[in-house]
Amino acid sequence: MTPTVRTSASVTALIGAVLALSGCMQTSTGGGAEARPPVAASVAGGDRLGRARVSSQSGEILILEEDGSVTTMDLDSPGGRDAFAVTEADLEALNQNLDLDFAGLVAPNRPREKTAQQKALEAFAARTQPALPVLAEGTEIAPESFIAVQVVPLNRGAGADLVEVTANLQQGVDADIAFSYATCALAGWARDNGNPYGRHVRTLQAERNGKLLIGSAFLLSDSKPMGLRVMETEETLRECDARGIPTA
């Protein structure tokens, strides 16, 4: 083992980087590998340049103190690991002294990438549709199409948040208009009960006694939920009024 000159903790690490770039091992004619002799290098240490020699044949390093004594340090000890800690400033200092290009050895600071879950949630949110279906241009809504509607909580109690809207319409009414009728009725009920949002869960449709029957379930909430179709009470009420669809 060849002693090294103590300069600073970062100097030892920088010498290791120099040797790695220079190549510490060479292939013999027999296919094996043999260690090269220790390599000397000039490095920055404190206010002056120092000389150091490094050998990779042992798990220890020998440090030559200023008074001529030699200190042994285990590479796997806290002090040994700290001696080989390299910062960007250390690499820059060595680059200036030895005119080496260390670009790529230290990854630049990059913005943190979004997780797969965050990307999936954003993609799902982008699929959200308006509370009321978009009707074809020129669609006429006849007031007599709407017969009756009722909103009933499906889970009882003070925290009831799952409701079903049952709407009766004239036979032959467009399905989007029928769903809009159920949604507008929910918006009126939600306003009276202090519910700002409702997420559509499912809608069933059937014909009975010459009438169109719609059953839509919604989950109410105080904050805007994620969903393919979300009702915002005040906004939906304005849209229902603009379309001429009753809200009760």
- In tens, the pLDDT along 149-166 reads 999 998 876 666 899 999
pLDDT digits (tens, 9 = 90+) for 17-49: 444 444 444 444 444 545 445 444 333 344 443
Higher pLDDT, 120 or 42: 120
d(CA 2, CA 60): 10
- Calculated CA dihedral for residues 216, 217, 219, 225, nearest 10 degrees: -50
pLDDT surpasses 60 at 71: yes
pTM: 0.54
Residue 102: the pLDDT is 54
Rounded to 5 degrees, φ, ψ at 145 are -70, -25
- In sequence order, the 6+-apart residues with CB closer than 8 A to the CB of 134 are none
Domains of the chain plus CATH, in order, are: 4-98 (no CATH), 144-243 (3.30.2000)
* Per-residue pLDDT band at 53 (split at 50, 70, 90): very low
Q: How far is CA 27 from the centre of its chain?
A: 46
Helix then strand count (H, E) for the chain reads 6, 12
Tokens encoding 204: 């069933």
